[in-house]
A and B are shown apart, each in its own frame.
Chain A
Amino acid sequence: MKKQEFIRELALALERPDEGLQEDVLLADIPEWDSLAVISFIALVDEHFGAAVEGEKLAAATTVADLIVIVQPHLED
């Protein structure tokens, strides 16, 4: 899966199919980024990459770009 595809999947999970997600946006500024969105992110990573997201890394993420860094090892170039 490529980066843009993952961002699109994440936007769908956050129910932002039209607005999409910009990488530099602060998670705190996304109204849909709530506790269930966090679990959705974990589930997406599990479903697409078979990988577990480390809670500490996720807790430290503040932007969409930080989320991408977490999944970067699994993304295609």
Chain B
Amino acid sequence: MDEKTTGLINPLSLARRRILVTGASSGIGRATAELLARLGASVIVAGRDEERLARTRSSLVGDGHSQIAFDLSAIDEIPGIVARLAKEGGALSGIAHCAGVQAGRPMRIVDQNFMDDLFRVNVQSGLALARGFRQRGVPASGAAMVLVSSVSAFVGQASNVVYCATKGAVVSATKALAVEFMRDKIRVNCVCPALVETEMADRFRTTMSDEQWQGYVAQYPMGIGQPADIANSVAFLLSDAARWINGTTLVLDGGLLAG
């Protein structure tokens, strides 16, 4: 029975939406792809590794999903890739840009290569995706983009200066993109997660002793997040339920910054 018959609605429905999800091989990206599919979207999973993407793709419920492997550090190729996706498969309703890198380096060992790498993947790739998204024929009606920043945009952390700077840039870019893309009828928002239990976090955890890890996690009043916690908010911001939300930043931290 459909909504007309039952009177029940699902404001988060993404039926008949085509949405590109980057970083879909693991963590937040994979959880986002899985949730968007459960909400009815046709998902294009993007990442670097075809095999890992295929695993994500096979885990998606529903039909019409596809995958594309490309390197997000090849910035100038990204707009063309997005245009091709629309030309070959139909206009895009959304982009969830979940790919990113976390790498801590005290300033004493930061160099240009390190800064360039982080800014390229964490900032420039999102801007290039945005550039691709607004091209004529690419965005569908009700288009929306969600960028994944971090609470690191708001909280300084020793040994994380460059990462914090990239995530702050994502927050600023979100606002400016939202303003510039209003004429294109594309909403742009971002989410700012704190520590989430992902493969990336596992790697972070192995560098600490158990005692250090317990101390770190104890800072989180509601525990650390799950990928689904982030996926839920990304799905909301992509849906029509967020029709009037634009250029905003949603902090997802289990109350970490509240105290």
With the chains together, A46 CA to B207 CA distance in Å? 10
In whole angstroms, how far apart are the Cα atoms of A36 and B158 in the complex?
A: 8
A2-B81 Cα distance, complex, nearest whole Å: 42
CB distance from A45 to the nearest CB of B (A): 9
The count of residues in chain A whose C-beta lies closer than 8 Å to any C-beta of chain B is 20
A39-B104 Cα distance, complex, nearest whole Å: 8
> Which residues on the B side are within 8 Å of A40 (C-beta)?
105-106, 108-109, 159
B176 within 8 A of A: no
Which residues of B are found within 8 Å of A44, using beta-carbon distances?
109
Q: Cβ of B108 and Cβ of A15 under 8 Å apart?
A: yes
B5 at interface, CB cutoff 8 A = no
Cβ 8 A contact of B207, one of A13, A15, A35, A42 = A42
Q: Does any Cβ of A come within 8 Å of B203's Cβ? A: yes
The total of Cβ contacts below 8 Å across the A-B interface reads 51
In the complex, B213 has a CB within 8 A of chain A: yes
What residues of B have a CB within 8 angstroms of the CB of A43 in the complex? 103-106, 109
Please tell me if the beta carbons of A36 and B159 are within 8 angstroms of each other in the complex. yes
Contact A39 B106, CB 8 Å, known A55-B207, A55-B212: yes
Highest count of chain A CB atoms <10 Å: which of B103, B109, B158, B208: B109
Q: Is A56 in the interface zone, CB < 8 Å from B?
A: yes
Beta-carbon contact of A46 and B108 below 8 Å: no
Residues of A within 8 A of B205 (CB): 55
- Asked if A18 lies at the interface with its beta carbon under 8 angstroms from chain B, I say no
Chain A interfacial positions (CB closer than 8 Å to B) = 12-15, 35-37, 39-40, 42-44, 46, 52-56, 58-59
Having A52-B206, A52-B207, A54-B207, one finds 17 other A-B pairs with CB under 8 Å, namely A12-B109, A13-B108, A15-B108, A35-B158, A36-B108, A36-B158, A39-B104, A40-B105, A40-B159, A44-B109, A53-B206, A53-B207, A54-B206, A55-B207, A56-B209, A56-B210, A58-B209
